[in-house]
Amino acid sequence: MFSFGQLLLGLGTSILLSLALPWILVFLYTVWARQQGVNGREKLLAELGQPPDRRVVGYFHPYCNAGGGGERVLWTAIVRSQRNEPNVVSVVYSGDIDASKEEIIAKVKLRFDIVLDPSSLHFVFLEKRWLVEDATWPAFTLLGQSIGSMILTWEAITNVVPHLFIDTMGYAFSFPVVSLIASVPTGAYVHYPTISTQMLKRVTNRQSGVTNRNFISQSIVLTYGKLLYYRIFMFYYSRALRMASFKMANSSWTKNHVDAILVHRDPLLEFANTFSLARFLFAGPPASAHKQSAQIVYPSCDTRAMSSFPLTPREPVVLSVAQFRPEKNHAAQLQALAALLKQHPSTPAKFVLLGGARNDDDLQRVDTLRLLARNLGVEDHVEFVVNASYAEVLEWLAKSSVGLSTMVDEHFGINVVELMAAGVIPVSHASGGPLHDIIVSFEGKPTGYHARTPEEFADAIHIALTLPEDEAQEMRQRARTWAVQAFSEDEFERTWNTSGWRDVLEEGYTQSQ
């Protein structure tokens, strides 16, 4: 059935898996201890002055005070729950031991303008966050952080057992721990998959390349080792993810990756797993038995500042808002401008490349771009705006006609949402989030353009700049209406609702009675 090499692989796997034994003993001990003890809920509800029949939802977000996009999702979910569900109390498992509950709530207000109600919100402060920090695991980072997150989850759950546990930071290995210790239902909101099937494929290809070319045996061992490492990791990652009762993804890019992971199959490891103790921990269904795919829940974008700009008059400005990072592909914008000037020498278009420069490399890149503009003979039509203030960004958004985004395979593209909300007609590279999530047709009509080559970009920009006034106006309005609505908090709440979290929560509550 299996070749000799595969059997060796299987044997190695079983040995590796059995290393998990001590951990499993710790968990079993905890299960036992938990059955004797309390779950922390009564005490917490009493402290908050809430009746004992409240439902408790736990959000696992060890970096909840970081103030980034992921945190915005967390606080929006919680504030919406507070507004709509008076019988739900939210618990955040946080590793920010230096900040108090009041401080975190104040920062959320300041940073996101989200007002949290302290009477139905509780924080469990975790001491062991260092276990998931990059610096703790210079080697075997994936594995180290995953085991670290399991111990961190253990710390969280032994403090307060919720009725529903939602991981909002991508620690899928928390699910087996929660299931084992507390048998509570779990849910996932995924921003970014920890490992992707592509990554695994890349390592696999490298491995076959090495064996074919008959490299020295040491490198074969190393590559085999790495492949095995990734394979085992992917196998258990997909098992862990499948344990969640619902899975949400922040974009179609993430959803596609998560869906591929959910149906990931590895018969050999499946076989090895039946003899390993890890199977009691990762009790999720095999890929063949899994039907549910991830559901997209877009984070809400704050478009209030730009969505009231008048749609006219607009200057013939073609605006790009993107940090001067290599992947943003600013050179393609200059090439598009060169193509545009070649086809339409009298075009009034003026390109404005606006963006932050984080360091010397970025600044150097700006210099190189200026040089390129000169070499292409387009420097009179370009303006670089480096490190503009937010107010300046808004000014440009208010007067530009066309917006430009040239990054290839951008996962999302919040800058494109902002262009559209500002009434700027977007032209983006035909890939990633701008193609699949953002510049899509609305009410059967386009909300912008896509392009690949400099010539296609030039064509699209020319079309957008020369639309008849009424058509331009309609398209600006359509782009704005769509962007503001699709990435609004209401839409976030509506799609979050359809994950079915409420039913899962009731299930968890009933089970605990």
Ligand X SMILES: *[C@@H]1O[C@H](CO)[C@@H](O)[C@H](O)[C@H]1NC(C)=O
* Beta carbon of residue 73, minimum distance to ligand X (angstroms, whole number): 8
Least separation in angstroms between CB 415 and ligand X: 11
**In contact, 422 and 398? CB cutoff 8 Å:** yes
Near ligand X in 401-440, by CB under 6 A: 411-412
If the CB atoms of residues 43 and 494 are measured against ligand X, the closer one turns out to be 494
Contacts (CB under 6 A) with ligand X, residues 181-220: 191-192
Helix (H, G, I), strand (E, B) or coil at 385: strand
Does position 251 interact with ligand X (CB under 6 A)? The reply is yes
Q: CB-wise, 70 or 434, nearer to ligand X? A: 70
Find the shortest distance in angstroms from Cβ 492 to ligand X: 8
Query: Rounded to whole angstroms, how far apart are CA atoms 476 and 460?
Result: 15
**Binding-residue total with ligand X (CB under 6 A):** 24
Q: From the CB of 257, what's the least distance to ligand X, in Å?
A: 11
Q: Name the DSSP class of 478.
A: H
User: Closest CB to ligand X belongs to which residue?
Assistant: 191
Are 187 and 247 a contacting pair, CB within 8 Å? yes
Kindly state the tokens that stand for 205. 């290809």
* Residue 497 sits in the site that holds ligand X (CB under 6 A): yes
Instruction: For residue 410, give the 3-state DSSP assignment.
Output: coil
Q: Which position has the token pair 């995924």?
A: 190
Sort residue 431 into left (φ over 0), alpha (ψ -120 to 50) or beta: beta
Interacting span for ligand X (CB under 6 A) from 38-46, 207-215, 352-360, 450-458: 352-360
Closest approach of ligand X to the CB of residue 250, in Å: 4
What's the min distance (Å) between Cβ of 506 and ligand X? 11
Could you list the beta-strand ranges (E) of 172-215. 186-190
Give the range of 28-36, 211-219, 281-289, 493-501 binding ligand X by CB under 6 A.
493-501
8 Å CB contact between 420 and 398: no
CB of 53 to ligand X, least distance (A): 17
Q: How far is the CB of 184 from ligand X (least distance, A)?
A: 20
On whether the CB atoms of residues 169 and 275 are closer than 8 A, the answer is no
Segment near ligand X (CB under 6 A); pick from 115-123, 136-144, 354-362, 422-430? 354-362
In the list 39, 82, 146, 250, the residue contacting ligand X (rule: CB under 6 A) is 250
* C-alpha–C-alpha distance, residues 188 and 194, integer Å: 13
Which of 327, 380, 490, 503 is the binder for ligand X (CB under 6 A)?
490
Give the footprint of ligand X on residues 65-124 (CB under 6 A): 69-70, 84-85
Among 298, 309, 351, 384, binds ligand X (CB under 6 A): 298
Q: Quick one: which of 493, 499, 505, 508 contacts ligand X (CB under 6 A)?
A: 493
Q: Would you give the DSSP letter of residue 441?
A: -
How far, in Å, CA of 309 to CA of 294, rounded? 36
Pick the closest to residue 86 from 50, 113, 122 (CA basis): 50
Question: Across-strand partners of 57?
Answer: 90, 164
Q: How many CB atoms lie within 10 A of CB 209?
A: 11
Out of 307, 473, 502, 512, which residue is the one contacting ligand X (CB under 6 A)? 502
SS3 state of residue 195: coil
Options 162, 299, 432, 448; binder of ligand X; rule CB under 6 A: 299
Residue 323 interacting with ligand X (CB under 6 A): no
- Dihedral (Cα; 67, 71, 75, 78), 10-degree rounding: -150
**CB-nearer residue toward ligand X: 163 or 314:** 163
With a CB cutoff of 8 Å and minimum separation 6, the contacts of 348 are 316, 465
Nearer to ligand X, 401 or 499 (CB): 499
- Smallest CA-to-CA distance from 467 within 404, 431, 424, 407 is with 424
Q: Which stretch binds ligand X (CB under 6 A): 141-149, 314-322, 350-358, 370-378?
A: 350-358
Residues 123-152 that bind ligand X (CB under 6 A): none
In the complex, the smallest distance separating the C-beta of residue 417 from ligand X, rounded to whole angstroms, is: 9
Which is nearest to 258 in space by CA: 270, 267, 250? Answer: 250
Residue 327 binds to ligand X (criterion: CB under 6 A):
no
Phi-psi region of 140 (alpha: psi -120 to 50; beta: other; left: phi over 0): left
Q: Which is nearer to ligand X, 342 or 502 (CB)?
A: 502
What one-character-per-residue DSSP string does 73-111 give? HHHHHHHHHHHH-TTEEEEEEE--TTS-HHHHHHHHHHH
The reply on whether position 324 binds ligand X by CB under 6 A is no
Is residue 357 part of the contact set for ligand X (CB under 6 A)?
A: yes
| Residue ranges of E strands in 191-276 | 246-249
| Complex with ligand X: residue 67 or 356, whichever CB lies closer | 356
DSSP notation for 312-380: ----SEEEEE--S-GGG-HHHHHHHHHHHHHH-TT---EEEEEE---SHHHHHHHHHHHHHHHHTT-GG
CA of residue 247 relative to chain centroid, distance: 12
Q: Which stretch binds ligand X (CB under 6 A): 5-13, 248-256, 308-316, 474-482?
A: 248-256
Q: Which is nearer to ligand X, 304 or 358 (CB)?
A: 358
The residue (of 58 and 176) whose beta carbon lies closer to ligand X is 58
- Residue 167 interacting with ligand X (CB under 6 A): no
Give the x-and-dash track for 359-378 against ligand X (CB under 6 A): ----x---------------
Binding residues for ligand X (CB under 6 A): 69-70, 84-85, 191-192, 250-251, 254, 298-299, 356-358, 363, 386-387, 411-412, 490, 493-494, 497, 502
